[in-house]
Amino acid sequence: MDEALRRIEEARNTRSTVLDLSGLGLRSLPPELFELTYLTRLYLGNNALTDLPAELAELSSLTTLNLSGIPFGMVPAAVADLENLTALDIRNCGILALPDSLRRLTKLHGLGAEGNGLVEIPEWISCLDRLSLVALGGNRLHSLPASLTGLTDLVHLGLGRNRFTEVPEAVFALRKLLILDLEDNYLTAVPDAVSNLTKLEELGLRGNQISCLPTAVADLSRLSTLTLSGNPLVSPPPEIAVGGTNSVIEFLKARRAGTEPMWASKVLVVGEGGVGKTSLVKALAGTEYDHNEPSTHGIRIEHLDLPHPTHPGVEMQLNAWDFGGQEIYHATHQFFLSNRSLFLLVWNSRHGWEQGRLRYWLDIIKARAPESPIILVVTHAEDRPVDFPLDDLKREYPQIVISTAVDNRTRQGIDALRDTITEQAAKLPLMGAEWPKTWLKAAGTLWDCEVNRVAPDDMWQMMSDAGVEDPVQQRYIAKALHELGDILYYSEDPELCDTVILQPEWVNGYISKVLDSPEVEASQGLLTRTHLRELWRGLDRGTSDHFLSMMDKYDLSYRVDGLPDDVSLVVERLSWNPPAYQDLWRGMAGKQEIRVLYRLNTMPPGIPTWFIARSHRFSISMHWRTGAVLKHGDHLALVRADAHRKTVELTVRGPSPAAFFSILDDGLNRTLDRFPGLEIRREVPCRCDGGCTELFNYDNLSKRLTKIPPKYTIECHRSGDDVDIRSLLLGLAPSSRDVTVMSLDQIDRRLIRIESKVDENAEYNQRMFMRLQHIAQTQQETRCPSVFALVQLKKRNFELHLYCEEPGAWHRLPEPEGVYAIKQPYEWVRKFGPHLQRLLKVLKYTAPLAGPVLGITVDQLSQQLKADCDLMKELVSRAPETFRTEAHAGDDIPSVRAEHDADFRALEAMLLELDEKRVWGGLSRTTTPEGLTLYLCSEHRRAY
């Protein structure tokens, strides 16, 4: 109450028209408040009020009233007496209905009622005909009144997180609508009437049940943001939808010229070596049985034509991918095991289901392709009964649709298996997906091409000859075919983008020669250029280098600098026995330590060897098949995998291990994320004393920090001591799979942890900041720099300076690069105040850089950083209330995203006003091996 009285008195003395009393724990409003009759904006959110007194009406000049987060349960009657209100915020107040008395607020422009329990909107809503923003997300609405059509000035309608099964018809009469949010509902379709919304700029459809988007969406000429993730899309195909709004629009335009269903998909045949997979595929294709069938090395692809079970005259084309079953090939399978495919898991009845490692393969399929159906196929079952726990396996793995027995030699059971494959293939999500006719013709030219590889320019010309001349659509087709595994084209990789592989199995055959090489195995994974020429005899140097780059891309190998004969290290051929690293590791025993145990439901192939390859820039040549010692500055890391216990342990020791641990933790999680269905439990060791063996679940610790209010301690069950959670989680940023279930406000609360860790080195602070900004931008589907300074040059002249975002080395770009004049600095503060505040906190504690950057000395950089911090801090402090109160003239609409604060769509839009060509002062958008996206200067980009 004292703080409230102080603010009221300050407003009285300054005759301020704006008063913020939010978050002060008020149970009642002080009478002194009602003497400020000149107030126009009043913020009371997040207090403990139970009602509002009638005296509130004395504030007759109020135009904005914010009551968000107050658990009223109903709208206080006093609100309806404020007839001059233009903006009312009653979000998260537990309100179940809008009272009739609110119809008196006829001057209302903005109504924020998100996060309540509303089940219907009253017909009288049309009385509020000046409304331009209505935010109704997070309620229980399933329909809207027809009278909504009377809100002819509505430009923003938020209906996300409700219970709509169809788009309310009244919406399509709102011709001025700019933003329509329908995310996280139960929509199965979007009507063609959406084309009536000719001014629409943003359409949110994420998290619904939409399989086909209408062509009418392409008529929305102003549409710049369309969110579709989380829908079971067939048309456009998911591979097109992930390309963003423009890719979807281009697809819809091409589809308008005519479509055909694409009756094609994949069947993936997996299992242990020697169980008869190749003979099975040949039997399905009608090829004669070969008693001396050689073992498959890598991958073989057979084409199967099957009649569609419900569409007479339609033939489905299945590419049967036959994978070599030997252990050494398992690490290469993951690049081709894709969702929306059919799996045949083959095992030999003579060897038994346990020797066939059914659970291992089922775990791998579940982890890599969790939505794909599985048919169990038992071979060599002609002379013995098939005995295995099918019912138990079905309960554990619901993807199993049936088990069937065959004999490849006599063809017994083959016809029945073909019928089962036909039935299941017809149900695959992409089977029969409609593609524009021109796209199918262009794809057909690549499918029918007899050469193994072409240059990208040749591929574009082939597509042009087929009728697809638009470069944008050409790239979409190439990307889709790459995602489907029909071609290999890494368009965004500078080392791989100059070649298109039209026959993926051709590449795999050459890579398999390296994996099979006894010489590579004998040299514990070392591959010389001389030996490579022998293995890849007949390949020209350019193709050979391309394949080697692909092995690096796949994390199967990496180049070793400083050794003769261009040596690479093939991680899948590392020795099983570790080198003598123990003395070196024990020498770091007295340093600070961060350790985490990753407990998995299965140990996928490539763990931890892919991670070792991904982290090779930290290598000190101490690595083996199940572990490695890595070095970064004064820090050592030890990673060890235990296939028997299904665990991976990562430990970092050094004077300040948080930054290095964060890099490796991101890299390991990114490696594990290749298996989207993999079950991962991160466990953090207790630190109550040196000998404690307690392990805390990471998810439980993280949830405690994101509670309101947060819980900062947890009890150790062994010692009974309270342990600080922030110290346990130091260095642990949310992984990609954590992020999918985190809201932006939860991400914000994770960011706040930076403030309490200013004693850690700048690299960790900056890396954590960039990690979470990257998460927020990903959720908002934006791409723009996040680190900049707003500085004042003269009395009314302001500039924005972009920074290189290399963690541990943030620095302003040398002028005049990345410098933009801005006319409304306080508009930036208003929209991005919390983002700027956190940016300042991280920037403020930037440690001296390790060396000069771009010709600027360390001292100059430090002085420049300090000056930018001081100037920006002064700008923010001079406008303490502008985070909510500064606005354009006539803009009295409450921001529906204020609680998320880091609205990167708005940030991207404002930055594009300064730099519409996205030059960004020469900063390059760079993705690190750990998946962190940074905007880097040319000097720091070279390090990656």
| pLDDT computed for residue 756 by the predictor | 44
**Res. 814 pLDDT band, cuts 50 70 90:** confident
Phi and psi angles of residue 376, each rounded to the nearest 5 degrees, phi first: -85, 130
Model confidence at 582, pLDDT cuts 50, 70, 90, reads very high
780: DSSP letter: H
Percent of the chain with pLDDT over 90: 35
Reduced to 3 states (helix: H, G, I; strand: E, B; else coil), residue 262 is strand
How many other CB atoms sit within 10 Å of the CB of residue 14?
Answer: 9
Residue 335 confidence (pLDDT): 58
Collapsing DSSP to helix, strand or coil, 644 comes out as coil
Q: Which residues contact 565 (CB under 8 A, 6 or more apart)?
A: 528, 529, 530
- Helix and strand totals (H; E) in the chain: 28, 38
The string over 338-367, giving b where at least 16 C-beta atoms fall within 10 Å of a residue's C-beta and e elsewhere, is: bebbbbbbbbbbeeebeebbbeebbbbbbb
Query: With contact defined as beta carbons under 8 Å apart, do 698 and 682 qualify?
Result: yes
Structure confidence by residue, pLDDT tens digits, 752-787: 444 444 445 567 777 777 776 766 666 555 678 988
Residue 479: count other Cβ atoms within 10 Å of its Cβ: 19
pLDDT at 408: 87
- pLDDT reading at 519 higher than 50: yes
Residue, of 694 and 465, whose pLDDT is higher: 465
CA 687 – CA 593 distance, rounded (Å): 10
- Residue 822 half-sphere exposure toward CB, CA atoms < 13 A: 25
pLDDT of the residue at 754: 44
Give pLDDT, residue 236. Answer: 86
pTM higher than 0.85: no
* Rounded mean pLDDT, 495-524: 81
Scan for tokens 């998810």, then name that residue.
Answer: 699
How confident is the model over 697-706, as pLDDT tens digits? 888 887 887 7
Average pLDDT, the chain: 83
CB-based contacts of 134, cutoff 8 Å, min separation 6: 110, 111, 113, 151, 154, 156, 157, 158
Helices marked H in 340-470 = 358-368, 390-396, 414-426, 437-447, 456-465
79 pLDDT higher than 60: yes
Cα–Cα distance for residue pair 756/279, rounded to 1 Å: 63
What is the rounded CA–CA span in Å between residue 865 and residue 848? 10
363-366 long-range Cβ contacts below 8 angstroms, 24+ apart: 363/601, 363/602, 363/604, 364/270, 364/330, 364/333, 364/337, 364/602, 364/604, 364/605, 364/675, 365/270, 365/337, 365/399, 366/397, 366/399, 366/677
Query: DSSP code of 296?
Result: P
Query: From CA 376, how far away is CA 346, in angstroms rounded?
Result: 6
pLDDT at 929 (0 to 100): 77
Contact 824, 903 (CB under 8 A): no
Could you report the per-residue pLDDT of 862-913, keeping only the tens digit for each? 677 777 777 777 776 665 443 333 333 333 333 333 333 345 667 787 888 8
pLDDT tier, 493 (very low <50, low <70, confident <90, very high otherwise): low
Inter-residue contact 361 to 389 (CB < 8 Å): no
The helix (H) or strand (E) run that includes residue 693 is none
> Considering the chain, what percentage of its residues have pLDDT values greater than 70?
85
pLDDT of residue 98: 95
Mean per-residue pLDDT, 917-941:
85
Q: Which helix (H) or strand (E) segment is 592 a member of?
A: strand 592-600
Report residue 578's pLDDT band, with 50, 70 and 90 as the boundaries: very high
Query: How many other CB atoms are there within 10 angstroms of residue 222's CB atom?
Result: 11
- Look at the alpha carbons of 83, 87, 93, 96 in this order and tell me if their dihedral is positive or negative: positive
Give the bridge partners for 42, in sequence order. Answer: 19, 65
Instruction: Find out whether 876 and 840 touch, Cβ atoms under 8 Å.
Output: yes
Q: Report residue 223: phi and psi, to 5°.
A: -65, 120
Local confidence band at 618 (pLDDT 50, 70, 90 cut-offs): confident
Q: State residue 163's pLDDT score.
A: 96
Token representation of residue 906: 């708005």
Cis bond upstream, residue 168 (ω within 30) = no
Query: In whole angstroms, what is the distance from residue 606 CA to residue 623 CA?
Result: 14
Distant-in-sequence, close-in-space partners of 292: CB < 8 Å, separation ≥ 6: none
